[in-house]
Amino acid sequence: MIDKLPEQLISIMALLVSFYSFLLVERRNKTNQEIEMSRPIYADHLTNKLPRAFEEYRNAKNTLRANQIFSSHLRQFRIDIQYFQYAHPHIHRKILHSLSKIDFAISHSTMHPNSPVTNTEINKAFKKIYTTLLHDLPNDHIDTIFNRKSR
């Protein structure tokens, strides 16, 4: 019985190492799934649709029409970020808060056209959205996705 003690100890250690490896692999798989699920939101909305819509909004001569188009892009973004409502509720709340600030600024600009305060508020809200997504998401390495896209 005593001669088998080292073998049993090695077996137990191997079992513990295997279990720990399994947990690490599961965590990595979950992170990879989150990246794959959220990548379309980042790639499409944050790098293309919303910046272009904001640029068109700033340069528009027909402010009412530009406000409607910009608002529709924001509404679509709200729908697409529903994933965060369940996976990361605190991030979802921060993004919705920033989107409501943008909506308020757009409605303010309808009443006060060419207001520089409006564009400043919208820029601040966009910065908050980008900061929230880039820094508050746990272990998803989203910054590496942006670095790969820019190469």
Give the chain's domains with CATH numbers.
38-150 (1.20.120)
Cα distance between the two ends of the chain: 62
Least trusted range by pLDDT, from 37-46, 89-98, 128-137, 138-147: 138-147
How high is the pLDDT of residue 38?
Answer: 65
pLDDT beyond 50 at 151: no
Instruction: Name the DSSP letter for residue 42.
Output: I
Q: Does the reported pTM lie above 0.75? A: no
How high is the pLDDT of residue 97?
Answer: 94
pLDDT-based confidence at residue 58 (cuts at 50, 70, 90): confident
Query: What is the rounded average pLDDT for all residues in the chain?
Result: 78
Contact (CB, 8 A) for 71 and 103: yes
Contact (CB, 8 A) for 75 and 136: no
Q: How many CB atoms lie within 10 A of CB 59?
A: 8
CA–CA separation, 36 and 9 (whole Å): 41
